[in-house]
Amino acid sequence: MISASQRFWFWAIVWVSVVTLSAPTVVVLGASFTAGNIIAFPPEGLSLRWYEKIALARDLQQAFLRSLIVSSICMLIAVPAGTLAGIALARYQLRCFNGVQMYLLLPFTIPLIGSGIGLMMMFGRLGALGSLWPVGFACAVINLPFIIWSVSASAAQLDPDLEHAAANCGAGRVQTFLYVTLPAVMPGVITGSLLMFILAMNEFLVSLLLVDARTVTLPVQIYNSIRSIITPDLAAVSVVFIVMAALAIAFLDRLVGLEIFLKSK
């Protein structure tokens, strides 16, 4: 049995963690509604003027569109590659399994600046710096382990007898993959796709190294703005990012459930 003191400290730690993690979001949210001309919390009155400003700002609109293009390119590359790799890791005994496991840990072990500089040098030799497709490709390469984990978690729950039954019924390998394997791992594919989309939308460092002044993405555009002065419209842009992430999580929970996402971690 858990004693009263243990229960108290448990819930105290939980609430301290919740408040600590929520505080930055609350501050940004409040600052975005300020009626003043400088970012402040508590806000100096309430107004939607800064949301109106970002809605009419053409540079932010173009940067947002570029970020959407980068995220789409990232998903087009990462989803098929991550899906096949995730299924292979879960279903087959690979000779290079340990090496693949080490690769999956690279996002947590190699500083992002190192990967970004390497990609910048590679695309520089190809003469592709300043285009959007290298940014999408780079986001896919760097974040690919996340979708592999997600698909592997779903593939590990697939009963091999289902594939054997399909083969016994005359289905070929391609038919078995399309009608049995792929639908079974689809929750992991959807989870990984949404995660890759959000990560690519928010990617800053790699975008900063690979774009130029004509093709800046939204995170880079925000960075360029705060180098001079932090205004409430940037807080409004941050709130838009937060809302997009919250909607993606809510969509994910309703579509496949958050259990798949948590198991992929």
Query: Positive or negative, the Cα torsion across 246, 252, 257, 259?
Result: negative
28-75: pLDDT as tens digits: 887 778 777 777 677 777 777 778 887 787 888 888 888 888 889 998
- The model carries a pTM of 0.77
- Quickly state the pLDDT bin for 99 (edges 50, 70, 90): low
Q: How confident is the model at residue 191 (pLDDT cuts 50, 70, 90)?
A: confident
| pLDDT at position 263 over 60 | no
pLDDT of residue 106: 66
pLDDT value at position 100?
A: 66
Residue 138, phi then psi, degrees to nearest 5: -65, -40
Let me know: does 39 contact 235? Beta carbons within 8 Å.
yes
CA distance 180 to 75: 23
Residue 202 near residue 241 (C-beta atoms within 8 A): yes
- Distance, in Å, from the CA atom of 141 to the CA atom of 101, rounded to the nearest integer, reads 15
Give the list of residues 6+ apart from residue 184 with CB closer than 8 angstroms, or none.
154, 155, 157, 158, 162
Judge whether 134 and 207 are in contact, CB under 8 Å: no
Note the residue count of the chain: 265
What value does the mean pLDDT of the chain take?
Answer: 78
Q: Please tell me the predicted confidence (pLDDT) of residue 63.
A: 85
State residue 95's pLDDT score. Answer: 67
Q: Does residue 259 carry a pLDDT above 80?
A: no
| 9 band by pLDDT with thresholds 50, 70 and 90 | confident
* Segment 199-255, tens digit of pLDDT: 888 888 888 888 877 788 888 887 777 766 677 777 788 888 788 877 877 776 676
What phi, psi does 34 have (nearest 5°)?
-65, 145
State the DSSP string of the chain: ---HHHHHHHHHHHHHHHHHHHHHHHHHHHHHTBSSSS--SS-SSB--HHHHHHHH-HHHHHHHHHHHHHHHHHHHHHHHHHHHHHHHHHHS--TTHHHHHHHHTHHHHS-HHHHHHHHHHHHHHHT-TT-SHHHHHHHHHHHHHHHHHHHHHHHTTS-HHHHHHHHHTT--HHHHIIIIIHHHHHHHHHHHHHHHHHHHHH--HHHHHH--TTS--HHHHHHHHHTT---HHHHHHHHHHHHHHHHHHHHHHHHT-HHHHHHH-
- Nearest by Cα to 153 from 179, 183, 191, 180: 191
Complete domains list, the chain, with CATH: 53-264 (1.10.3720.10)
